Amino acid sequence: MPEQRRAAPLLAIVVPCYNEEEVFPYCLQELKVLLEGMAADDLIKADSFILFVNDGSRDATWKHIADAVAANRCVRGLKLSRNEGHQSALIAGLAAVDETAEAIVSIDADLQDDVSAIRRMVEAYRDGHDVVYGVRENREADTWFKRTTAEIFYRLMAGMGIRQVSNHADFRLLSRRALDALLRYSERNAYIRGLVPMVGFSSAEVYYTRAVRVAGESKYPFRKMLALAVEGITSMTIVPLRLISGMGLCICVIALVAAAYVLWRKFSGNTVAGWPSIVLSIFFMGGVQMLSLGIIGEYIGKIYLEVKKRPRFHVESLIQNNTSEN
Ligand code: UDP
Ligand code: MG
């Protein structure tokens, strides 16, 4: 961590919006007050801004955004040509933030995430952290169903070796270099929550209580949640393919045991004619097929990881000694 506290950054807040006309006025108001307050306290630069991304909304969201841009210097708008989904909208927004932004916060439009936590995120940034995760203190605002499925999901991901911060959604701060590193992951199926920890750099967590939606309804029905979970798993790991090999191997072992049993039955004389050969071939072929699928899967997995062309590393710093004589 650098010894010196970082200077007040130019902050950009990226807000993906899909059919959010009901919450938009509240969101705009809260974020504006926050920006003004932080700028007044010299925590951020005065020309910090908010970028609203309209993710192909079918309601008046874009009109609200355009009006807000016309009326406020600190508001910008980005309109996607169609609905691409939360993750893509977020990436589009992050990529559209210009080079001048030194710290970039992403937050949902519905004010479920505590806006005041952004202050603490910026403090952590100024203390030298490049990634600051907004982590929910509790999930009391969620339904039992959402809480339980989320818990199962986090455990499943952890079991497959995917590093991910539990109870953290897409409410976070990235420094300029962390964002640039993230944008080097050029994959189409991006699961941002899984990619951010891969970026590395020094990170911190900021805790907050997640509220219920201020207005409007969730744009993440169970169907989309499930799709995100599948995306998260299949875009981050090839463990499911390995499981097929594992299963194939297990079946082969079972086939061996079964072979011993079948042969013992045959030689002890109490079997129907033809039974041993049929049973043995079913077991054996099942095992061999599954194992072969797994091996093919292993290669497909490699191709899959290669086509992503993920960056191999990100340089955090390069030091050299310019003053030394020799
Ligand atoms: N969102 C989006 N595109 C979509 C779905 C959602 O940009 O296709 C945005 C939405 O406007 C909100 C954020 O993603 O700002 C999170 O969505 P939501 O609050 O509905 O999800 P939940 O909090 O219920 O999981
Ligand atoms: Mg929400």
Residue of minimum CA distance from atom 23 in ligand 1: 218
- Work out the burial of residue 56: count CB atoms within 10 Å of its CB; fewer than 13 is exposed, 13-18 middle, 19 or more buried: middle
79, pLDDT greater than 80: yes
Residue of minimum CA distance from atom 16 in ligand 1: 108
Regarding whether 160 and 83 lie in a shared domain, the answer is: yes
Regarding whether 224 and 265 lie in a shared domain, the answer is: no
CA–centroid distance, 110 to ligand 2, in Å, is 5
- Work out the burial of residue 61: count CB atoms within 10 Å of its CB; fewer than 13 is exposed, 13-18 middle, 19 or more buried: buried
Q: Tell which atom from ligand 1 comes closest to the C-alpha of 18.
A: 11
Regarding whether 302 and 213 lie in a shared domain, the answer is: no
Regarding whether 163 and 296 lie in a shared domain, the answer is: no
Looking at residue 24, its amino acid is: F
323, pLDDT greater than 80: no
pTM for the model: 0.76
218, pLDDT greater than 60: yes
Regarding whether 137 and 43 lie in a shared domain, the answer is: yes
Regarding whether 191 and 52 lie in a shared domain, the answer is: yes
What is the per-residue pLDDT across 3-35, written as a single tens digit (0 to 9) for each?
688 999 999 999 999 999 999 999 999 999 999
Residue 3: inside a domain, yes or no?
Answer: no
Closest to 53 measured CA to CA, from 43, 61, 45 = 61
Q: Tell which atom from ligand 1 comes closest to the C-alpha of 20.
A: 11
pLDDT of residue 280: 80
Please, are residues 29 and 23 in contact by the beta-carbon 8 Å criterion? no
Residue 6: inside a domain, yes or no?
Answer: no
How many H helices and E strands in the chain? 10, 7
pLDDT of residue 318: 58
Regarding whether 296 and 215 lie in a shared domain, the answer is: no
Q: What average pLDDT does this structure show over 101-127?
A: 94
pLDDT of residue 180: 94
pLDDT of residue 282: 86
CA–centroid distance, 107 to ligand 1, in Å, is 10
| Least distant ligand from the CA of 52 | 1
Residue 90: inside a domain, yes or no?
Answer: yes
143, pLDDT greater than 60: yes
What is the per-residue pLDDT across 38-78, written as a single tens digit (0 to 9) for each?
999 999 999 999 999 999 899 999 999 999 998 999 999 99
Name the domain count of the chain. Answer: 2
At residue 303 the predicted structure's pLDDT band, cuts being 50, 70 and 90, is: confident
Q: Tell which atom from ligand 1 comes closest to the C-alpha of 218.
A: 20
Please, are residues 237 and 254 in contact by the beta-carbon 8 Å criterion? no
In the block, tokens 């750099």 appear at 201
Which residues, at least 6 apart from 236, have a Cβ–Cβ distance to it below 8 Å?
157, 160, 162, 191, 194
Residue of minimum CA distance from atom 8 in ligand 1: 85
pLDDT of residue 317: 55
Regarding whether 100 and 83 lie in a shared domain, the answer is: yes
Most confident of 19-33, 246-260, 287-301: 19-33
At residue 314 the predicted structure's pLDDT band, cuts being 50, 70 and 90, is: low
Q: Tell which atom from ligand 1 comes closest to the C-alpha of 53.
A: 7
145, pLDDT greater than 80: yes
Regarding whether 253 and 224 lie in a shared domain, the answer is: no
Q: Tell which atom from ligand 1 comes closest to the C-alpha of 109.
A: 15
Residue 46: inside a domain, yes or no?
Answer: yes
Which residue among 91, 94, 172, 219 is best mutated to probe the pocket of ligand 1, counting the most ligand atoms within 8 A of its Cβ? 219
Which residue among 115, 153, 213, 220 is best mutated to probe the pocket of ligand 1, counting the most ligand atoms within 8 A of its Cβ? 220
What is the per-residue pLDDT across 149-188, written as a single tens digit (0 to 9) for each?
888 888 888 888 888 888 888 999 999 999 999 998 887 7
Residue of minimum CA distance from atom 12 in ligand 1: 108
Pairing of strands 75-79, 49-54: parallel
Residue 4: inside a domain, yes or no?
Answer: no
For residue 224, give Cα distances in angstroms to 19, 234, 252. 15, 15, 38
> For 7, which DSSP code?
P
Residue 134: inside a domain, yes or no?
Answer: yes
- Work out the burial of residue 225: count CB atoms within 10 Å of its CB; fewer than 13 is exposed, 13-18 middle, 19 or more buried: middle
Q: How many CA atoms lie within 13 A of 20 on its CB side?
A: 29
Question: Encoding tokens for residue 87?
Answer: 């993750």
Please, are residues 172 and 120 in contact by the beta-carbon 8 Å criterion? no
Domain limits for position 261: 239-308
pLDDT of residue 10: 96
Q: What average pLDDT does this structure show over 198-218?
A: 85
Residue 1: inside a domain, yes or no?
Answer: no
CA–centroid distance, 110 to ligand 1, in Å, is 8
At residue 220 the predicted structure's pLDDT band, cuts being 50, 70 and 90, is: confident
Residue 2: inside a domain, yes or no?
Answer: no
Most confident of 172-181, 241-250, 271-280: 172-181
Regarding whether 315 and 293 lie in a shared domain, the answer is: no
CATH code, domain carrying 50: 3.90.550.10
Residues with CB under 6 A from ligand 1: 16-18, 20, 55, 83, 85-86, 89, 108-110, 112, 218-220
**What whole-number distance in Å separates Cα of residue 244 and Cα of residue 250?**
10
316, pLDDT greater than 60: no
Regarding whether 212 and 266 lie in a shared domain, the answer is: no
Regarding whether 258 and 134 lie in a shared domain, the answer is: no
Most confident of 9-18, 219-228, 245-254: 9-18
b (16+ CB within 10 A) / e for 120-138: bbbebbbebbbbbbbbbee
